[in-house]
Chain A
């Protein structure tokens, strides 16, 4: 675990966030090569992936199925896959196929990347020791150690 300079344990840090551009035609023809590129990233521990949809102009059911598979693989390894910069065309297709709500989506890739590093507001008080998110008080930490 990485301890930042403020002494607060960032439970969510685990390797870089990878941003990948989804091709303009995300259909049966393009999916295979895209998955070959994405595959090694999904195999890593706690993969954190952002897919940038800004260039997408068409997507078919094969593309949507591939997205769902990638999400499933990422979640299996305790990671996540998020969408960014959805083009209007991509939004329409995802809504049509009822999968829009399955993914977390952001306006920009930067926002999506930042969302991986953000600690929820109620996770730990700002002035709490770094171990409090996991062990609560000092007594519990001593017991654990």
Chain B
């Protein structure tokens, strides 16, 4: 049995019409929360890694934004940017000529047994099987491309049809609908409540450091914590209570980071007290007060120059694949 997989990232206006402003702003920056690097990896990268490990025959990734910098892939992983992701996804699904196609919209991070779902799909005998859990439908389908019309409108109808077989996912699910869900994923990753674990080496129990991370002698890191690739933690800093500092970021002298996330390429200034927050460049989202602020003062917070590591695909994924540049014809720009 040949199996293909299409991973859809976006569209950013999917589903919830009244999306939180903070979520919308983060999605505009990254294209999707699934492309945000947390604990050294993205949900997208992790998902593709699992598909490759599961020996899926062909994998396509379709996004409604362009992947910045180099776009990479193995022979069986193709990347496409499209303004109509569903049309492109249906074309890809049909082009695989596979017996079954896994369609995954990120979206949620979920851990499920794909082989079991494929087997369930085969037994049910319906053209479409959709995953669900106690909280409702999930955007994961198995489709029989030969029985589903290749026209994307028909595909869309089939995916939404209540006649689809429902496969109950018993594994970990995080719907990633808001930044709070990101913090929850991080906490669950630290606590090993899911397989989304921090990258790098566990230098002390509960403290992970990715390659190139620098922590000055006088800084204190309290578990659980993660320090990302090439990040720098200055003297007298305190990183505590489940905080993660992502790649190429810098926390300057004497600053306290408590129960917070510092996303990639962010500078956090001297002597600050950052708690219960997510910071991304010059944007600060305080989860306790429920406000998102743009900090125009570069002394406090600022965006650092992006490293090549930030491309929407996490570094670990890059390291494991045969990387080559792929020219993208007429790639549409990320929506502003």
Residues of chain A having any CB pair with chain B under 8 Å: 27, 58, 60-62, 88-89, 91-93, 95-98
In the complex, A27→B275 CA distance in Å?
23
Shortest distance in angstroms between B299's beta carbon and chain A's nearest beta carbon?
Answer: 6
Listed A/B pairs (25) with beta-carbon separation below 8 Å: A27-B296, A27-B297, A58-B294, A58-B296, A60-B300, A61-B299, A62-B297, A88-B289, A88-B290, A88-B291, A89-B291, A89-B293, A92-B277, A92-B289, A92-B291, A92-B293, A93-B293, A95-B275, A96-B272, A96-B284, A97-B273, A97-B300, A98-B271, A98-B272, A98-B273
B: contact size bracket: 10 to 19
Contacts of A88 on B, CB cut-off 8 Å? 286, 289-291
Contact of A96 with B274 at beta-carbon distance under 8 Å, contacts A60-B296, A60-B300, A61-B297 already known: yes
Chain A residues near B277 (CB-CB < 8 A):
92
Chain A residue with minimal CB distance to B297? A60
B residues contacting A by CB (< 8 A) are 271-275, 277, 284, 286, 289-291, 293-297, 299-300
Give CA–CA (A117, B291) in the complex, Å. 34
Report chain A residues within 8 Å CB of B290.
Answer: 88
Residue of A93, A96, A97 with most partner-chain B CB within 10 A: A96
Q: In the complex, which residues of chain B have a beta carbon less than 8 angstroms from the beta carbon of A98?
A: 271-273
| A92→B284 CA distance, assembly (Å) | 9
Question: Using Cβ atoms and an 8 Å threshold, which residues of chain B touch A58?
Answer: 293-294, 296
Q: Which residues of A contact B297 (CB under 8 A)?
A: 27, 60-62
Q: Which among A27, A60, A61, A91 is the interface contact of B289 at CB below 8 angstroms?
A: A91
Q: Which residue of B lies closest to A94 (CB)?
A: B273
Closest B residue, CB atoms, query A87 = B291
CB distance from A60 to the nearest CB of B (A): 4
Separation in Å of the B166 CB from the closest CB of chain A?
42
How many Å lie between the Cα of A91 and that of B300 in the bound state? 15
- With both beta carbons as reference points, the residue of chain B lying nearest to A100 in the complex is identified as B273
Q: Name the CB-closest residue of B to A93.
A: B293
Shortest CB distance B297–A (Å)? 4
Q: Kindly list chain A residues whose C-beta atoms are within 8 Å of the C-beta of B272.
A: 96-98
Contacts of A61 in B (CB 8 A): 297, 299-300
Nearest-neighbor residue (CB-CB) of A95 within chain B: B273
Other A-B contacts than A27-B297, A60-B297, A88-B290, 17 sampled, CB-CB below 8 A, are A58-B294, A60-B295, A61-B297, A88-B289, A88-B291, A89-B291, A91-B289, A92-B284, A92-B289, A92-B293, A95-B273, A96-B272, A96-B274, A96-B300, A97-B271, A97-B273, A98-B271
- Taking the closest CB of chain B, its distance from the CB of A7, in whole angstroms, is 46
- Nearest residue in B to A96 (C-beta to C-beta)? B272
Task: Determine the distance from Cα of A16 to Cα of B277 in the docked complex, in whole angstroms.
Answer: 40
Question: Contacts of B299 on A, CB cut-off 8 Å?
Answer: 61
Q: How far is the CA of A60 from the CA of B302 in the complex (A)?
A: 13
**B60 CB, min distance to chain A CBs, angstroms:** 42
In the assembled complex, the CB of B293 is this many whole angstroms from the nearest CB of chain A, namely 6
A98 to B291, CA, bound (A): 18
Interchain CA distance A91-B273 in the complex, whole Å: 12
Find the B residue at minimum CB distance from A97: B272
Chain A residue numbers with a CB within 8 Å of B300 are 60-61, 96-97
Cβ–Cβ < 8 Å partners of B275 in chain A: 95
Q: State in angstroms the CA–CA spacing of A95 and B271 once bound together.
A: 11
In whole angstroms, what is the CA distance A98 to B272 when docked? 6
In the complex, what distance in Å separates the CA atom of A61 from the CA atom of B284?
Answer: 15
